Amino acid sequence: MWILRKILFPVSLVYGAIVYTRNRWYDWGVFSSKTYKTPIVCIGNLSVGGTGKTPMVELLIQLLQDQYKVAVLSRGYKRKSKGFVLAVPESTVTDLGDEPYQIYSKFSKTQVAVDSNRQNGIAKLEQAIKPDIIILDDAFQHRKVKPAFSILLTAFDNLYASDWYLPTGNLRDSRREAHRADIVVVTKSPSEISKKHQAKIERKLDPKAHQKILFSYLNYDRNLKGKGPLKGLDDLRNKKITLITGIANPKPLLDFLEENKIDFEHLAYRDHHNFSQKELETLKVKANIITTEKDYMRLKEDVVCNYISVQHVFFGEGLQYLKTDLESIMSS
C-alpha cells in the first residue's frame, strides 16, 4: 500500500494544486463564503478520518444543550437518502448515516439534520427549527459557509504538519489552511504527555497569534453498552471475544484492549462499512462481539453485540478554554 502511495506521488501534486487554487479563489473573492445570523461552530480536520470528530461534536452538545437550542448538521456519509433530512423518531441509520444517527440516538434535545449542501441545510434549519447554535460536523474544508468559530482536529500520531496530500498522504486540504481555525486540538494523545512534548508539537504546528493549541486523549468507558450480554471489561476476560471495527483508525481502541489484557480477534472493515447480508450471517455466529459505538449503529438490528463508548478528555485548562470561547460566541 505504501509503495502504491509513493508511485501515485505525481497525482498528489495535481490534487494539491487543485486544492491550493480553490482556496485562493475563496480568499480572493472569486468564490464567496456565506455568513449566518445563527452562530455556526465548525468541527473538522485537514486529513481523511480518524481524528475523533464525532466525540468532539458530542462534547460540544453536552456543553451547550442545557442552555441553548442546539442543532447539528452533517453530510450524512453513506446514507441512502438524498437532500435535506431532519432526524425524527422514525429515522434509521440508512436515512441519516451512522454518525448523525448515533448523535440523534443519544441527545434527545438536539436537532440533527443531514445535507451535503451545507448552505441549504443551514437555511432549512434556520427556517424550521430556529436553533440558537448550529454545529457543523466535518466541514472545515467546505468554504461556502463561513463559521463564527472553527475547531480543527489533528491526531497525535498523524499531525497535519507532517502529512502530505492524497493519495500519497492523508491530507484532503492544504496545511496552510490551518490558519483559519480558532482552536486546534491535538486528539488521541497519550494519557500522559509532558509539557515539554506538548511544546514541541505546538512549535511544529506553528499556530498563529489568534490560535490556541489544546491537547486531548481518548477515554474509553469501562462499562459496556448495547444489546449483548457483556456489562464491563471484566466480562471480556477469559472469553473468546470478537472485535468488529469499521472506523478510520482503530489503533487506540486496540491499544486500550491490549493494555487491559483482553484477548480478542479483530475483524477490521473500512470506515463507515455497510455490512452485506453474507457478512452479517457470518458475524451472527460469533460469540461475545464488541464494537465501536458508530459500528453498533449499523449492526444492532442484525447482530447481538456490545459497544465501547469513548470521549475526549482535555489536558490542563483545555476544556475551560473551550467553554469560555463558546460562551463568547453565544454572547456576541
Phi-psi region of 170 (alpha: psi -120 to 50; beta: other; left: phi over 0): alpha
Residue 2 reports pLDDT greater than 80? no
Q: What string of DSSP letters covers 71-126? A: EEEE--TT-S--S-EE--TT--HHHH-HHHHHHHHH-TTSEEEE-SSHHHHHHHHH
Residues of the chain with CATH 3.40.50: 2-68+132-218+313-331, 225-308
User: DSSP 3-state assignment of 316?
Assistant: coil
Q: What number of other Cβ atoms are within 10 A of residue 229's Cβ?
A: 12
pLDDT band for 147, please (50, 70, 90 cuts). very high
Mean pLDDT for all residues in the chain: 95
Q: What's the pLDDT tens digit per position in 196-215?
A: 999 999 999 999 999 999 99
Our CA dihedral for 140, 142, 147, 150, rounded to 10 degrees, sits at 0
Give the pLDDT band (50/70/90) at residue 289: very high
Residue 49 predicted with pLDDT over 90? no
**The CATH number of domain 2-68+132-218+313-331 is 3.40.50:** yes
pLDDT of amino acid 259 = 94
- Strand-pair partners of 34: 145
pLDDT band at 250 (very low <50, low <70, confident <90, very high): very high
Q: What percent of the chain has pLDDT over 70?
A: 100
CATH number corresponding to 225-308: 3.40.50
| Distance in angstroms (rounded) separating the CA atoms of residues 279 and 282 | 5
Q: How far apart are CA 19 and CA 24, in angstroms?
A: 9
Integer Rg of the chain from CA: 20
